[in-house]
Amino acid sequence: MTDVEAYLSKLRAQGFKLTGKRRAIVEVLLREDRYITAKDLMEALKESYPSLSLDTVYRNLNMLKEAHIIEESEYGEGGSRYRIRCSTDHHHHLVCIRCGKTEALEDCPMDILAHVPEGYQVVGHRFEVLGYCPGCTDDLSSKGGREV
């Protein structure tokens, strides 16, 4: 079974309808293997789906997020970006805010949290370290540290 088929089987098992657009979104996100914007995704699908709207892309992304197929990362004013959800055990990421590349972190910051205030019940957490990957750092350095 291919990676695409594994994710689509998970979707089907949850009772979600499988459409060509959803398959295409999963294929693009698997191929990219990094966080990308909804606009980047729409651009990648434009040839196969010329009338695809950004609303349709967002609706499908939200459904795939609800089905735990993809992850969303908020980039402040840069908006959200999306990637295929990792299939490995619990872990966190370093995320390049320029190209969207990710690297897994071995440690979990929750392990050092010695105390949760009384009355709180932790049901989950998110932790991402945002910065620049080595390739983007080198590229920015060669341009005097500025985005072009």
Same domain? For 102 and 123 the reply is: yes
Residue 136 annotated as binding site: yes
Out of 87, 110, 127, pick the residue that ends a domain. Answer: 87
Domain termination residue (choose one: 58, 87, 116)? 87
90 labelled ligand-binding: yes
Say how far apart CA 73 and CA 80 lie, in whole Å: 5
Taking the C-alpha atoms of residue 106 and residue 99, their distance in angstroms, rounded to an integer, is 22
108 is in an annotated binding site: no
* Domain end residue (candidates: 38, 56, 87): 87
Tens digit of each residue's pLDDT (9 = 90 or more) over 74-105: 876 768 999 998 766 777 888 888 888 888 88
Q: Give the number of domains in the chain.
A: 2
The reply to whether 115 sits in an annotated binding site is: no
For residue 52, what is the domain's CATH number?
A: 1.10.10.10
Longest dimension (CA), the chain: 54
- pLDDT greater at residue 104 or residue 6: 6
Considering only residues 46 and 115, tell me which one the structure prediction assigns the higher pLDDT. 46
Range 45-49 contact pairs with CB under 8 angstroms and sequence separation of 24 or more: 45/21, 48/20, 48/24, 49/21, 49/24
pLDDT band at 113 (very low <50, low <70, confident <90, very high): confident
pLDDT for res 146: 59
Specify the pLDDT at position 145.
62
Between the ranges 7-11, 49-53, 110-114, where is the mean pLDDT highest? Answer: 49-53
* pLDDT score, position 42: 96
Check whether 148 has a pLDDT greater than 50.
no
Q: Is there a single domain that holds both residue 66 and residue 8? A: yes
- Domain membership of residue 141 as a residue range: 88-148
93 is in an annotated binding site: no
Amino acid at 87: S
* CATH code, domain with 100: 3.30.1490.190
Residue 108 contacts residue 127 (beta carbons within 8 Å): yes
User: Could you read off the pLDDT of 20-71 as tens digits, one per residue?
Assistant: 999 999 999 999 999 999 999 999 999 999 999 999 999 999 999 999 999 9
Clarify whether residues 46 and 77 are in a common domain: yes
